[in-house]
Amino acid sequence: MNASSYLKEVACAKINLSFKVLKKLPSNYHKIDSFVAFLPQLHDTLLIKKNSKNKIIIKGTQSEELRRHGGDTLIAKSINKISAYYNIKINLEVVLNKNIPLGAGLGGGSANAAAIIRAILKIYNLKKNKDFIVLLNEIGSDVPVCFFSKNSQVTGVGDIIKPLNSLKKKLWVLLIKPDVLSETKNIFNHFKGPYSKKSNFIFNFDNIIYDINTYQNSLEETACRLEKKIKDLLDSLPSRKNITKPRITGSGSTVFLLFEKQEDLVQYKNIIRLVIKNYWNLSTYIFL
């Protein structure tokens, strides 16, 4: 494969620093409020070029897991949606290097969908219009924020994206995923409240850390009830120089903790090595 003949798009994972469910709408969707950050070191990669027909090749550390759960759906769905939206024939070969774990609350599928859409716009020289966010949201509620892949406050049903001002702050992140897959639709179907109030503070370091420590992810209780391993993991994690309590991202199953110093994360991970020895985990960072 000659990589130089492909357009490369990077699909970064996200974490929901906070996640509040505000109410259920008549449409059965939920109105949310979430501060989302992106993880530059955890990403899938897509190589894309025009082809005689649509073809998706899956590689990477999570490729077998993806195949076991039905293979790609969102990339193909996105190609079809964009094709219909612009009324053009789109034929692409896509090589997906899959590294973001599935069912993890890290937005891997949405990031892939967003990446292929960014690529299509470039390859076919297409312009976005004012309804474009609606189209992205129809593909998946995390697709709009993943399309921009910038730290943002996300409200509405995932369709209102407000970029966050840079705090020029680097934080270290420990991600731990128990060996369960959380399905977002299933978690929301079982969520019965309580509902939260919208965040109402100026976004700065102290305020976001306070918010994470004061309010748990609205879906955490539901995720723990449905998947005991998530609850057991949360209950087993000690407090040792982590600046945030352990929280799930999105609908789970990944748990994250934040640290101000890399050495604090390394020491923490050493303390809990027996707890997480059989779980996918990653030490990385975010920029706020």
Per DSSP, 60 falls in state S
**pLDDT tens digits, 108-123:** 999 999 999 999 999 9
Instruction: Give the span between the Cα atoms of 6 and 101, in whole angstroms.
Output: 24
**pLDDT tens digits, 32-56:** 999 999 999 999 999 999 999 999 9
Report the pLDDT averaged over residues 242-255.
97
Report the pLDDT averaged over residues 196-223.
97
Q: Are residues 7 and 119 in the same domain?
A: yes
Give the pLDDT band of residue 2 (cuts 50, 70, 90).
low
Residue 179's alpha-carbon distances to 101, 194, 220, 230, 233, in angstroms, are 10, 27, 17, 9, 11
- At 70 the pLDDT is 87
At 228, the amino acid letter reads: K
The 3-state DSSP class for residue 257 equals strand
Q: Are residues 107 and 213 in the same domain?
A: no
Q: Which pTM does this prediction carry?
A: 0.95
- At 121 the pLDDT is 97
Instruction: Choose the final residue of a domain: 120, 135, 163.
Output: 163
Q: Are residues 19 and 158 in the same domain?
A: yes
Q: Are residues 59 and 174 in the same domain?
A: no
Task: Determine how β-strand 280-287 pairs with β-strand 170-177.
Answer: antiparallel
**pLDDT tens digits, 163-186:** 999 999 999 999 999 999 999 999
Give the pLDDT band of residue 6 (cuts 50, 70, 90).
very high
Q: Are residues 177 and 212 in the same domain?
A: yes
Instruction: Give the span between the Cα atoms of 241 and 262, in whole angstroms.
Output: 11
Instruction: Give the span between the Cα atoms of 25 and 40, in whole angstroms.
Output: 34
List of residues 6+ apart from 29 with CB closer than 8 A: 141, 157
Q: Are residues 142 and 178 in the same domain?
A: no
Q: Are residues 185 and 118 in the same domain?
A: no
Instruction: Give the span between the Cα atoms of 186 and 19, in whole angstroms.
Output: 17
Report the pLDDT averaged over residues 273-284.
96
- At 81 the pLDDT is 97
Instruction: Choose the final residue of a domain: 163, 188, 219.
Output: 163
- Tally the domains of the chain: 2
List of residues 6+ apart from 192 with CB closer than 8 A: 222
Identify the H or E element spanning 172.
strand 170-177
Question: What domain range includes position 119?
Answer: 3-163
Instruction: Choose the final residue of a domain: 111, 140, 163.
Output: 163
Q: Are residues 147 and 253 in the same domain?
A: no
* Phi/psi at 228 (5° precision): -60, -30
Check whether 251 has a pLDDT greater than 90: yes
* Domain containing residue 58: CATH number: 3.30.230.10
Q: Are residues 31 and 128 in the same domain?
A: yes
Q: Are residues 9 and 151 in the same domain?
A: yes
- At 73 the pLDDT is 87
Encoding tokens for residue 164?
A: 């966050």
**pLDDT tens digits, 82-140:** 999 999 999 999 999 999 999 999 999 999 999 999 999 999 999 999 899 999 999 99
Check whether 3 has a pLDDT greater than 70: no
Q: Are residues 196 and 224 in the same domain?
A: yes
* Domain containing residue 246: CATH number: 3.30.70.890
Q: Are residues 242 and 139 in the same domain?
A: no
